[in-house]
Structure 1
Amino acid sequence: MLQKLREKTSGWIATVILGLLIVPFAFFGVESYMSQQVDTYAARIAQPPSWWKSAPQVWPVTYLWSIHDIDAQVYRERLETMRFNMREQQGDNFDAKAFESVENKRRILDRLIDEQLMKLAADRDGIVISDAEVRDAIQKMPEFQVDGAFNADRYQLLLASQNPPLSPTGFEARIRDSLKNELIPAGIARSAFVTDLEVDRLMRLLGEHRDVSFVTLPPAAPDAAEVTAAQIDAWYAAHKSDYRRPETVRLEYVEVDGSALTATAADEAELRKRYQDQIAKYSSAEKREVSHILIAVAANASAADKKAAEAKAKKLAADAQVPGADFAALARASSDDTGSKANGGDLGWLAKGGMPGAFDDTAFAMKAGEVRGPVKTDFGWHVIKVNDVRAAVQRPFEEVRAELEKEAQEGSRERAFNELTGKLVDAAYKTPTSLEPAAKALGLPLQTTPAFSRAGGPGIAGDAKVLRVAFSDTMLQDGTASDPIELGPERTVLIRVIDHAPEQALPLAQVRDAVVAAIRADRQRKAADAAADALVKAAKAKGLAEAAKDAGLAVGEANDVTRGMPVPSPEAARAFFDEPRPQAGQVPVNKVLVGGQYVVFAVRGVRDADIGQVTPQERATLRQQVSAATGMQAQDAFVRAARAKYSIKVAEDRL
């Protein structure tokens, strides 16, 4: 038996089979058969090898492609960041349902994909960002500046306050990556330009003047012809979506209004304690108006350079201390602080702790008009002048007593409001299918709304937040009480859907009159359209004035009209400028619907703007705007072209 097995496995057929088995093991390895891979990407970007950019994405060539995944967790973090930012920007107008739409989620993911593509493009082109560029970008960020100048202490403080805290090294790495990835698209955007001829042409077009004749047609006569049953049936069948009862809900709700609550009066002892607790609020710290001259010293400067900088600072300090010396002129001529140099070294009014240690200590030990230096900080050597001193001021208790009393009453009312709201929520959660027990327990009225649609209704039904909650799937399906909905400062409501009527088609019997009215209105529109077309045709044949005379209509004129002028109406003016210019004696004639009435018009003349009257500032502004728009178009085109070089797969089920 073994001999037969050996004979069967030693022929050429067995060799071929063995070779076929070796191929997948060579590509995948044995472990691929022993384990199962779980993909977690939101998007996968496949990049062909640099030495074979036209490599087909077919097996086994696909194993030459490099894969770059955008993890689903990274996408979710970006989604939450965008959600937080939009909530902060839009406040009560934030629409959670619109944010959660597939289209919006895809837009957010597309931004991540574009960022990854720009990173790949930067890596491919060997782009490197220097330390100086990173440092310059950080120092220009306004959030790290104090009085227009970069402040190292503020920089450290803001990084440490992030969640999670950021180290300077980690933050600088982020900035480096950002600069690296944005270098090419930003450079393309900045490279856009507009020629003088293009600016001239735009100026002529934007300032164009037109002379127009127009006729406003009277409304078509109301339709009084018979509407047959067949016409009614046909119209209803073709416009069923127009005859639907909208989805509606009715609510029961309990409202807590803080303004209706009684505040507890504060006694004298409580007011004085509040005053002591908030003494800083009623006090202004000592401030000093300071100017300085900075002689910068790099961290990696040589000993000789450091000594030379110190000597230069000593010389400037001596010059500044000479009676009658112009400190501002010395700062403008010699300071290395670009933020204050142009202003004569002026740093404005500083409070204690507003500058690095040695600088701060020195400035607050000086008198008004005094100059000291040089003083060493991490930035280099400073020559400091205190221009003026503003003493600390503390408002007495008697002066702020009314403010304290008002704050105490507001605090008391706020505590009562929060306590009552908390009790209401706890009571509602005990019986979530009805708000009546909670309302009775707290002595609050249980109120109801009439049925209303998503368009809103009276009272709380007109609040956008209430509408979003009332029509949410959870509220419609469960019939339970909502979480507290904030209607305004110290005004909260809990709602529950007590009746829900889904959208439904209305039978023809209920809407017959509306259908008849719609048919008549349609006939009237068509009659008005036909009358306007007839007048346009006649005006093209014999001129608008003659055609209007034959029709018994008056002709109006709008001469010297420019873009944006609402003459005779904004819609008509836009139509005037959409028409081509008169050619070879032919006057363009057309119609436009304005407020339910047709206006037939003829463009008699067109004159370009006199660009000689355009100011240099207007010209520069237009050039900048058009260049920016052209640059953004070029940048978008670059990103779209980059997408074409990669294979991008989106995991729709993970969005």
Structure 2
Amino acid sequence: MLQKLREKTSGWIAGTILGLLTIPFAFFGMEQYMTQSNATWVAKVEAPPTWWRSAPHWWPVRMLWDVEEIDSSEFRTWFEQARQQQRNEAGDAFDPRAFEDKANKRKVVEEMIDVRVLRLMAEHAGIAVSDAQVRAMIESVPAFQVDGKFNPQQYQLALASQVPQRSPRQFEQLIREDLAQGLIPKQLVESGFATESEVDRLLRLFGEKRDVEFVVMPQPEPDTGAVEAAEIQAWYDSHPGDYRVPESVVLEYVEVDGSTLQPTPADDAVLRQRYEQEQARFVEPEQRLASHILVRVDADADEKAQAEAKARAEKIAAQAREPGADFAALARAESDDTGSKEAGGDLGWVTREMMEKPFEDALFAMQQGDVAGPVKTAFGWHVIQLRMVKEGRQTPFAQVREQLLAEQEAADRERMFNEVTGKLVDQVYRNPTSLAEAAAAVGLEVKTSDRLVRGAVPGGLFSNPAVQRAAFSDVLVQDGTASDPIELGPNHAVVIRVAEHQPEQIEPLAQVGGRVIAAIRRDRAAKAAEAAAAAMLDEVRAGKPFAEVAAAHQLAVTNMPQMPRGMPLPDARANKAMFAVAAPAEGKPSLGKLVLDDGRIVAFQVTKVIPGDLSEVSEEQRATFRQQLGRSAGNDDVNALVQALRKRMRITVAEDRL
């Protein structure tokens, strides 16, 4: 039977069928096989290659596309920053539960996508940023300065203290990418403009004044009428959110705080050993004061262009070496580096790893006063002048002993923290439904929280977003098991367990009947007050003078001739409403009303509109306003550019990972 099967499957017909079956696997099955992975990205931006703009997205052509992924950890960092910003702006009105909704998460990820889109655009456009521009940006960062001036040692220490740590070369590459990515948007914003007619029209509008009369009706009289049972039930059914008891939990927790741990103080032998091992940290690096002249040429330029650029650089180098040559004047005349050209090619003080390797090797091989080059980098050919040298200096042990002691203590405290946390986790894994034994094993106390309401910010460690997410996660709520350690800060973590859980529920009508009746009566009173205000305005529309109608209702009229836009009288919302109504027709005032936050009602009439007087606007004010309008138009251009770019790219958002 096996022989017959072999004969049936070895002919040309079987081969043809097998070949046809291979085609769909090549385009679909193999792709799935080759791309199997545990994806962690929340969004992905894919752009066709620059040399094939119309490249299709199907596999295997898709492999040629440029891809930028946004992973979940980066998204979470952006989202927490947005949360903190919103909390600072809203203050006590901030609602953490509302902030966690899908719309906010989608807004943050869309902002991150826009950044990736601009980054791909910069790469495809071949935008290059000079070393001088990178240096200027870095030197302007206050964290890298001492007494208002850039300090190389402070720069390296600041980078070493970042999380994650970055070398100078890595940080400079990050700055280079940011500058390249922001170049076109920055130029668009700066090139935005407004025409004189636009400026005139908006100045007249913003400077507009109106003749306004208004009354402020008192807060509505309390309603004391009877409330029927059917009305109570209808209100309760139509306002379920007003009587919701949010989900809540009570937690057991064990907090591990490294700042409370007391390691044994290190002796001099340990400190000296640390000093010897880390001597490089206590060396002020050699610095070289350099200038350069750049002959720019693209890295992918043909041989002829490269040769011409090199020949020009050699000629400049020969001129720079001539006795009495003025290197700065030569740089201003010949250099293609716009960042340093006007400064005579000055690059300031340079330490190792601040420049590209060929440039660095040449500079640190020179003697003071030498001119070297041409030297080839990705930007072109450089002619380099070394103007001054500051030798490196070793800081003695005695001078840094206290610093070493503090660092050793911090390291020992971190080690103790890791040991305690590790032992706590081991014990929790043995019995995940209880924290008592694990806490006792490491000498810590199990504490119990007050009742925590989902979305509330109780303060302390329970305000931490990671603690909030874990406390109300399905796993901890349903299983009653302890969490993994949740990081609260450096050397500070907590392990929690849900001891008690109360799901979200609607309070029974029997418990909230009094609140329902009070709400119905407030609603009745508000509607009655609004009806009275509307009736009063109807009398004015019928032809009665506003003052006469107000007097009949025992209301005082406030007369505001030429009220300016933005004047908060009786409050900002009322002023906005007064300027939102249409201009009055001949002999007929424009009427309106607004309910204030405290329940009072403002009823008003606008009798005259006076456009802004352009003669009252100074040239300086006009120039500032024109600049603001131009920047606004430039920002609109940037948004339009991003939207156009997005249409040419393929953007995927993993909603389930947000």
Alignment partners' CA distance in 2, 1:502 and 1:465: 20
Q: Are positions 1:462 and 2:469 aligned together? A: no
CA distance in 2 between counterparts of 1:500 and 1:189 reads 53
Mapped partners of 2:590, 2:476: distance in 1? 58
> Kindly tell me: are residues 387 and 567 of structure 1, through their superposed partners in 2, closer, same or farther at Cα, counting changes over 3 Å?
farther
Which letter does structure 2 place at the counterpart of 1:430? R
The offset of 1:468, in angstroms, is: 1.3
Cα pair distance change 1:236/1:388, threshold 3 Å: same
Return the match for 2:626 from 608, 619, 629.
619
| Other-structure match for 2:477 | 476
Q: Distance in 2 between matches of 1:359 and 1:32?
A: 52
Counterpart selection for 1:81 from 43, 62, 70: 70
Q: Distance in 1 between matches of 2:424 and 2:508?
A: 44
Instruction: Give the AA of the match of 1:337.
Output: D
Determine the C-alpha separation between the residues in 2 that align with 1:532 and 1:135. Answer: 62
SS, match of residue 484 in structure 2: coil
SS of residue in 2 equivalent to 1:281: helix
Contact 2:207 2:565 in 1 (8 A): yes
Q: Which residue pairs with 1:58 in the alignment?
A: none
Matches of 1:376 and 1:409, distance apart in 2: 47
1:491-534 superposed Cα distances (whole Å, 9 cap, x missing partner): 21111112222222322211111111111211222122223223
The C-alpha deviation readout for 1:59-90, integer Å capped at 9, x for no partner, is xxxxxxx974599x99xx98962523223334
Is contact 2:577-2:594 (8 Å) kept? Answer: yes
Using structure 2 for the length normalisation, give the TM-score: 0.70
SS at match of 2:548: helix
Q: Which residue of 1 aligns with 2:635?
A: 628
- Identify which of 588, 594, 597 aligns with 1:595: 597
- Aligned residue in 2 for 1:535: 536
The match for 2:557 is 555
Residue 165 of structure 1 corresponds to none
* Secondary structure at the counterpart of residue 375 of structure 2: strand
Q: 2:320 aligns with which of 317, 323, 327?
A: 317
Structure having the higher Rg: 1
Q: 1:305/1:422 Cα in 2 relative to 1: closer, same or farther (>3 Å)?
A: same
Structure 2 residue identity aligned to 1:293: I
| Equivalent pair of 1:235/1:515 in contact (CA under 8 Å) | yes
User: C-alpha offsets along residues 557-600 of structure 1, whole Å, 9 cap, x if unaligned?
Assistant: 55655554434322223222322222323322211122222222
Q: In structure 1, the residue corresponding to 2:70 is in which secondary structure?
A: helix
Distance 1:230 1:314, change over 3 A: closer
For residues 204-249 of structure 1, give each alpha carbon's deviation from its aligned partner in whole angstroms, at most 9, with x where no partner exists: 3234334433322211122222333343233223334432322222
Q: What is the CA deviation profile of residues 126-157 of structure 1, one whole-angstrom value per residue up to 9, with x for unaligned ones?
A: xxx9xxx96973423889944579xxxxxxxx
Residue 347 of structure 1 deviates from its aligned partner by 0.8
In the alignment, is the contact (CA less than 8 A) between 1:283 and 1:392 conserved in 2? Answer: yes
Answer yes or no: is 1:488 the counterpart of 2:495: no
Take 2:234 and 2:514, find their aligned partners in 1: how far apart are those partners?
Answer: 14
Which piece of structure 1 moves more, 343-352 or 330-339? Answer: 330-339
Shift of 1:432: 0.7
SS of the residue 1:427 aligns to: helix
- Bigger shift: 327-336 or 357-366? 357-366
CA contact (8 A) 2:192 2:630 kept: no
How many aligned residue pairs are there?
556
Alignment of 1:371-410 (within 5 A): 371-378=370-377, 382-410=382-410
Cα pair distance change 1:69/1:594, threshold 3 Å = farther
CA distance in 2, matches of 1:469, 1:197: 58
Q: What secondary structure, in the 3-state scheme, does the structure 2 residue paired with 1:216 have?
A: strand
In the alignment, structure 1 residue 305 sits paired with structure 2 residue 308: yes
Deviations 1:452-489 (A, max 9, x none): 32133465443332221111111122111111112233
**Secondary structure of residue in 2 paired with 1:584:** coil
Determine which of 544, 548, 565 is the counterpart of 1:546: 548
1:250 CA drift (Å): 1.6
Match of 1:139 among 100, 111, 128: 128
For the residues of structure 2 that align with 1:402 and 1:356, how far apart are their CA atoms? 36
When the two chains are superposed, the root-mean-square deviation of aligned CA atoms in Å is: 5.0
Q: Is the alpha carbon distance of 1:631 and 1:428 closer, same or farther for their aligned partners in structure 2, counting shifts above 3 Å? A: closer
Kindly report which structure 2 residues correspond to 1:333-352, keeping only aligned pairs within 5 A, or say none.
333-352=333-352
Q: In 1, distance between residues paired with 2:79 and 2:652?
A: 33
User: Which consecutive unaligned segments of at least 5 residues does structure 1 have?
Assistant: 1-24, 44-65, 120-128, 150-161, 163-170
Equivalent position SS for 2:501? strand
Q: Helix, strand or coil for the counterpart of 1:609?
A: coil
Q: In the alignment, which residue of structure 2 is the partner of 1:421?
A: 421
- How far off is 1:267 after superposition? 0.6
Q: What code does the residue aligned with 2:77 have?
A: E
Written as runs of structure 1 = structure 2, the 5 A alignment for 1:564-579 is 564-579=566-581
**SS of the counterpart of 1:595?**
coil
Conserved 8 A contact 1:283-1:394: yes
Partner of 1:252: 252
CA distance in 2, matches of 1:625, 1:232: 51
Change (3 A) 1:627 1:227: same
Query: What SS class does the counterpart of residue 486 from structure 1 fall into?
Result: strand
Q: Distance in 2 between matches of 1:511 and 1:96?
A: 23
One-letter amino acid of the structure 2 residue matched with residue 524 of structure 1: A
Amino acid at match of 2:376: T
Q: Per the alignment, do residues 224 and 336 of structure 1 end up closer, same or farther by CA in structure 2, a change over 3 Å counting?
A: same
The answer to whether the aligner puts 1:440 opposite 2:440 as a matched pair is: yes
Secondary structure at the residue paired with 2:482? coil
Residues 199 and 623, structure 1, Cα contact 8 Å, conserved in 2: no
**Alignment partners' CA distance in 1, 2:103 and 2:216:** 46
Q: For 1:376, what is the secondary structure of its paired residue?
A: strand
> CA-to-partner distance for each residue in 1:112-137, whole Å, 9 max, x for gaps?
99x99xx9xxxxxxxxx9xxx96973
How has the CA–CA distance of structure 1 residues 112 and 573 changed in structure 2, closer, same or farther, with 3 Å as cutoff?
Answer: closer
Counterpart Cα distance in 1 of 2:634 and 2:374: 47
Distance 1:110 1:487 in 2: 27
Counterpart-to-counterpart distance in 2, 1:211 and 1:241: 43
Q: Distance in 2 between matches of 1:529 and 1:91?
A: 43
